[in-house]
Amino acid sequence: MTTKDLYNKYLTELKDLYQTGEATAITKILFEHFAKISGSDMILNAKKVLDDDIEHLLQNALLQLKDHVPVQYIIGQAWFYNLSFEVNNAVLIPRSETEELVLEAINFLKDKEGKKVLDIGTGSGCIPISIKKNIPNALVTSIDVSRAAISVAIKNAVNNNVEINFLKIDFLDEGNYKDLAEFDLIISNPPYIPENEKNILDKNVVDFEPQLALFVPNKNPLIFYKKILIFAENHLAKNGKILLETHEDFAIITSEIFIAAKYEVEIKKDMQGKDRMLLIYRCQ
């Protein structure tokens, strides 16, 4: 099969799953990854007959896409804050919205020497690694309850040439807080989607990304934010800051639990105009 024939097959078979622009972008990613054919090379190589092994890889990737497997899991890679991260189904795929949270962290930490940072829920390690890469003198600790996620994060830290203190800790167990120090910045993109919203999410999210990192009980959707507040009372340094990603529908009510505890809170919208981030300062 020629490059053009298989490329057109991708676009035809993906048209019912993705909008045209997204289908085209995904197709280009996979052709570049497996066949080393970039978008600009596609025209020059249109009539080239693909090697059997390359065609097999691309045909198999197409089948996975039709089964709703995220393209990042198919190639085992995602880009975040201009860095490459290995990903598999033990970790969430890094989202562009979270890059905005990292930017807030970097702006807070720049020009400050040796500040201590705690990332809660490391996943792929995209948050702590991006911070450390941009603020080399920061002392970054990152925790997760999943040993498999920490394994991925450690590999990503090595690949990106940064040192992070990764710890396997169940943050919902307050008995573990004694093992953690005081921090100048606490940052987290915790699970925040109520379980009853599973039916409105895309299959490529619900069926393949780790549910432990996505969902919280319907009756207690703010559980992680409440625990972060409890933790911060004794572990946030004077003039410290908390940066949190949150569910757009819960941003106000989440901010209120911190305001009630005498924190100053700013709700910040993401690039899509959704209430996505909480910027929290201790008032006293």
Domain ranges of the chain: 3-67, 89-282
Assign a CATH topology to domain 89-282. Answer: Rossmann fold (3.40.50)
Span 225-257, pLDDT tens digits: 999 999 999 999 998 999 999 999 999 999 999
Least reliable range by pLDDT among 33-37, 39-43, 175-179, 216-220: 39-43
Average pLDDT over residues 191-196: 91
Span 125-154, pLDDT tens digits: 999 999 999 999 999 999 999 999 999 999
Span 77-126, pLDDT tens digits: 999 999 999 999 999 999 999 999 999 999 999 988 889 999 999 999 99
How much is the pLDDT for 104? Answer: 96
Least reliable range by pLDDT among 19-23, 142-146, 152-156, 265-269: 19-23
Q: What does the chain look like in DSSP terms, one character per residue?
A: -BHHHHHHHHHHHHTTTS-HHHHHHHHHHHHHHHH---HHHHHHTTTPBPPHHHHHHHHHHHHHHHTT--HHHHHTEEEETTEEEE--TTSPPP-HHHHHHHHHHHHHHTT-SS-EEEEE--TTSHHHHHHHHH-TT-EEEEEES-HHHHHHHHHHHHHTT---EEEE--TT-GGGGGGS--EEEEEE----EEGGGGGGS-HHHHTTS-GGGTEE-TT-TTHHHHHHHHHHHHHEEEEEEEEEE--GGGHHHHHHHHHTTTEEEEEEE-TTS-EEEEEEEE--
Q: Is the pLDDT of residue 284 over 80?
A: no
How much is the pLDDT for 89? Answer: 93
Q: Is the pLDDT of residue 41 over 80?
A: no
Share of the chain above pLDDT 70, in %: 98
